[in-house]
Structure formats: structure tokens, C-alpha cells
Amino acid sequence: MKNVFARSPDEAPQQSKTAGSKTVAFLSRICSMASVHRRDRRLRLCETLSLGEKRFIAVIEYDRKKFLLAGTPQNISLLQRLDDGVEETDPDIVPGIESWISKFSRS
């Protein structure tokens, strides 16, 4: 005889990952799948930064062009195309990015 465990209807299943980390994992999987099928890897996740619950920013490289993206549970937005000559760690990459990050980190 099998043991059967019932769950009450108002008991929601536990979620171990946030939507932001799931999105980052999804983007990473796309990048890894793209590299498996191609020798010249055109899509690459360069860096991510979590901004708190379900929010992140990421630098994505596609065909040697870099883009700064922001992600929420509802969407992913292009913030800026990054110039080739700009360091990724330079805070002046996107004017006002520090205020944008602090605005969304507090929410």
C-alpha cells in the first residue's frame, strides 16, 4: 500500500527560486544552447546583478555588441546599448543608473 499525502487547497507549493533568478537561469540556458549548436558563440550572458526580490540587471553580448537589460517578473527591458570603448564597471555607462538601481532595490 502506498502512502498518499494530501495538501489543502489553500496551501501553496514552496518556490525556492525568485522569478528574477529563474529569468537569469533561462537566459543562461539560451546562451548555453546557442553555444552547443554553433562554434561562433553569438549570444553570451556577461554579468548579472540582483536588485532584490525578482529584479535584476544584466549585461548581454550578442554578435560582439553589448546591451544592458533590466528584468522584472513582468518583462525584460533594454536600458542601453553599451559602447565598445566603455568599461563595464564604469558607473557612468548609463547616466543615472545608480539612482535607477536604488529606486528599484528599495521596492
pLDDT higher than 80, residue 32 = no
Taking the model in full, what pTM does it have? Answer: 0.47
pLDDT higher than 80, residue 65 = yes
Distance CA 20, CA 37 (A): 26
Span 35-56, mean pLDDT? 82
Query: 63-78 burial, b for 16+ CB within 10 Å, e for fewer?
Result: eeebebbbbbeeeeee
pLDDT higher than 70, residue 53 = yes
Span 9-31, mean pLDDT? 67
pLDDT higher than 80, residue 47 = yes
